[in-house]
Structure 1
Amino acid sequence: MLQIMILYFQVRHTKNLYVLKQIVFWIALLWTGLVLFLCLVQSNKMPVVNIENLDKIVHAFFHFVFTSLWILFFKTQIKDPDSYKPYIISFLFSVLFGITIEIMQGQYTTTRKEDALDVVANMVGAVLAVFLIFLYFRNRRLNKI
């Protein structure tokens, strides 16, 4: 009877973990698509707000969320909870994605231009995400001890 209960728990836990992985993946993918769309849509179709450096704050926010979601997804894929791989992969993915978007803005849009400071803002958002999520999981792990 105990073996049946253990097997049931393992199957149920595995199924719930699979569902969690799928949910995190789709949210990360949808956010990626939204960022891509908003960064490539013609700027004359976007509302105008006159706040200095607002676009840099938006870039940092986009990549903060982008990196956070991909870290959470990659953490579900890697078995070792102490691994740095999710952080490194997500950070590099965010930086390369941001650079690609800037190149695409310069090549394929007429109302947007490439901006190296946007890439810097993207990196600031990505670094903040890596740092804060790393601290969160480290503190959570230390509190378990």
Structure 2
Amino acid sequence: MEKLGSVNNFKIPYKDKYGHFAFYFVFTLLWATYLKTKFRINPKKARVNALLAAVIYGTFIEVLQGLFTNGKRQSDFLDVVFNTLGGLVAVLVLWLLHRDKKIK
């Protein structure tokens, strides 16, 4: 019998996809910031490189899951979509922040 306040009582559709989105959003933000500050790459190039790294890494992990795992873990195309969306939104946020700095 489940407890009333149990986390398992909450049925959120596609909840793992939100995790993929959030992880790749943060991953892309941090990677682009690192490239820009550590290697003094211009912001546009840093954003593009960070997005490419996120998309390639996320796709690679999903392909590996499809090839080498059985059971609970399996490859899912929607994971790649949400990984990419997280990265794209991060790039958009960084672009908006950089654009605002140029205006002021």
Mark yes or no: TM-score above 0.5. yes
Counterpart residue number, 1:50 = 11
Aligned-residue offset at 1:119: 0.5
Please report how far the alpha carbon of residue 55 of structure 1 lies from its aligned counterpart in structure 2 after TM superposition. 1.1
Report sequence identity in percent: 35
* 8 Å Cα contact 2:35/2:41 also seen in 1: no
Listed as ranges, the gaps of 5+ residues in structure 2 are 1-6
Query: Cα offset for 1:91?
Result: 0.4
Q: State the 1:138 CA deviation.
A: 1.6
CA RMSD between the two structures? 1.8
* Structure 2 residue aligned with 1:108: 68
Paired with 1:137 and 1:78, the residues of 2 have a C-alpha distance of: 17
- Aligned residue number for residue 131 of structure 1: 92
- Which amino acid in 1 is paired with 2:65? Q
Task: For CA contacts below 8 A with separation 6 or more, give which structure has more relative contact order.
Answer: 2
Mean alpha-carbon deviation: is it higher for 99-108 or for 126-135?
99-108
Q: Bigger radius of gyration, 1 or 2?
A: 1
1:140 Cα offset (Å): 1.8
What is the match of residue 69 of structure 1?
A: 30
More helix by share: 1
Question: Matches of 1:135 and 1:124 in 2, distance apart?
Answer: 16
Cα distance change, pair 135–114 in 1 and its aligned pair in 2 (3 A): same
Per-residue displacement from partner, 1:58-87 (whole Å, max 9, x unpaired)?
111110000000010011134364x41101
The size of the alignment, in residue pairs, is 96
2:59–2:80 contact (8 Å) kept in structure 1 = yes
**Structure 1: gaps of 5 or more residues:** 1-46
